[in-house]
Structure 1
Amino acid sequence: MFKPMRSAAVTSLLIAAIACSASAMLLFPGRVHATAASDSNDPTLERDSFAALNALYASEPKAKQIGAKSRAILVFPGIVKAGLMVGGLEGNGVLIEQGKVTAKYNISAASFGLQAGAQKFSQVMFLANDQSLAYLNKSSGWSVGVGPSVVVVDSGTAKSMTTDNLNSDVYVFIFGQKGLMGGLGVQGQKITRTSH
């Protein structure tokens, strides 16, 4: 009696895993298995990054105010997060300084725990001062949570915050979520330069 029950449980897990993978591929065809190298050379990356930044500015005026005071802006227009028990996220983006793209970056992270599903979203990181930009430039791979202080801005925080005095080094906006996975954050993300 024990073996059939264990077999049924394993079968259920396999079906769930296949369903997760299939839904991820349907939601984000060609992106789930994309490599950092292929995306960093994508000629549409800059266009998509500026489009994502403008979409954020249109929906959240406070982001535009922070952007005007920031030293540089990291934009990741299409991060994909997917998993079943063990998951991860990956995407590519650009560094914008004074309205121009100066470098391209990859973002990645692994996650563990109860999770199932796939999700695609955009993430914009405003580097508020010279120190945060210098840290990014000298890092061979910036592990978010180590180094500059980071604040994730949600709708509640945006309403109450003031841009007169930006006390943190980096302000992060995560938006445009689609899919089933919740609990988005930036702790443990690794940001690596892929090109100049």
Structure 2
Amino acid sequence: MTLLSRRSFALSALATTTLSACGNGIGGNGAAEIDARVDSTLSFMYNNFPGTRDLSTKASGMLVMPVVTEAGLGLGASFGRGALKVGPTTVDYYSATAGSAGLQIGAQQYSTVLFFMTQDALMDFRRANGWAAGADIEYALNDTGETLRAETTTSLAPVIAVVFAQAGFRAGATIEGTKYTRIIP
């Protein structure tokens, strides 16, 4: 075994072990399990960030990703599963995947909710064959742990992302560059 193949093997083993140990449902969440996690995540978000209730009543739809797991050591990856809700109804299920390269080390998990504030933004998302989150997303920020700040410019954006409940030892959580794909659980 050469040094390069040992290093590749070690990185692969670390990434596989980290992602499989996180319990984020890579192994086959059924619709009922995803729905239960989505409901729990929404309840947590509404209780801890009351301003999100107002966003949800104004939104045309919400993509809720209860657990996104992100890990990296030079090369990084993230994965999660969730549901698209229009009103109180789940209309589709999605996976979120991303890859990255650069100076990075660590792992974390977080929850994210995308609020589609216009019908056009929601329809563009649903029609796309794999939608990639990009620069057109505005982030609502958690300033003090109690309040969620969504400025006037943010509330006029077609898509607002709320990232919360981070746990782990990796700096930052972002969804830019994440690809969302419709799945059948």
Q: TM-score, with normalisation over the residues of structure 1?
A: 0.79
Please state how far the C-alpha of 1:13 moved relative to its aligned partner: 10
Whole-angstrom CA distance in 1 between matches of 2:174 and 2:150: 20
User: What amino acid is aligned across from residue 174 of structure 1 in structure 2?
Assistant: V
Please state how far the C-alpha of 1:112 moved relative to its aligned partner: 1.0
Whole-angstrom CA distance in 2 between matches of 1:154 and 1:71: 21
Whole-angstrom CA distance in 2 between matches of 1:179 and 1:20: 15
User: Which residue number in structure 1 is paired with residue 68 of structure 2?
Assistant: 79
Please state how far the C-alpha of 1:169 moved relative to its aligned partner: 0.5
Q: Please, which of 123, 140, 149 is the counterpart of residue 153 of structure 1?
A: 140
Mapped contact 1:76–1:122 kept (Cα < 8 A): yes
Mapped contact 1:20–1:117 kept (Cα < 8 A): no
Distance verdict in 2 for CA 1:17–1:116, change over 3 Å: farther
Q: Please, which of 158, 162, 187 is the counterpart of residue 176 of structure 2?
A: 187
User: Which residue number in structure 2 is paired with residue 3 of structure 1?
Assistant: none
How many pairs does the alignment contain? 179
Q: Please, which of 112, 116, 129 is the counterpart of residue 105 of structure 2?
A: 116
Deviation per CA, 1:4-45, whole angstroms, max 9, x where unpaired? xxx8xxx9998898677656555x14x48x25xx23x35211
Instruction: Compute the RMSD of aligned alpha carbons.
Output: 2.9
Structure 1: give runs of 5+ residues left out of the alignment.
1-6
Give the 3-state SS of the residue equivalent to 2:171 in structure 1.
coil
Mapped contact 2:140–2:149 kept (Cα < 8 A): no
User: What amino acid is aligned across from residue 143 of structure 1 in structure 2?
Assistant: A
Please state how far the C-alpha of 1:166 moved relative to its aligned partner: 2.9
User: What amino acid is aligned across from residue 190 of structure 1 in structure 2?
Assistant: K
Whole-angstrom CA distance in 1 between matches of 2:11 and 2:178: 26
Percent of aligned positions that are identical? 24
Deviation per CA, 1:28-75, whole angstroms, max 9, x where unpaired? 14x48x25xx23x35211011011011111111221111110000100
Whole-angstrom CA distance in 2 between matches of 1:176 and 1:14: 32
Which protein has the larger Cα radius of gyration, Structure 1 or Structure 2? 1
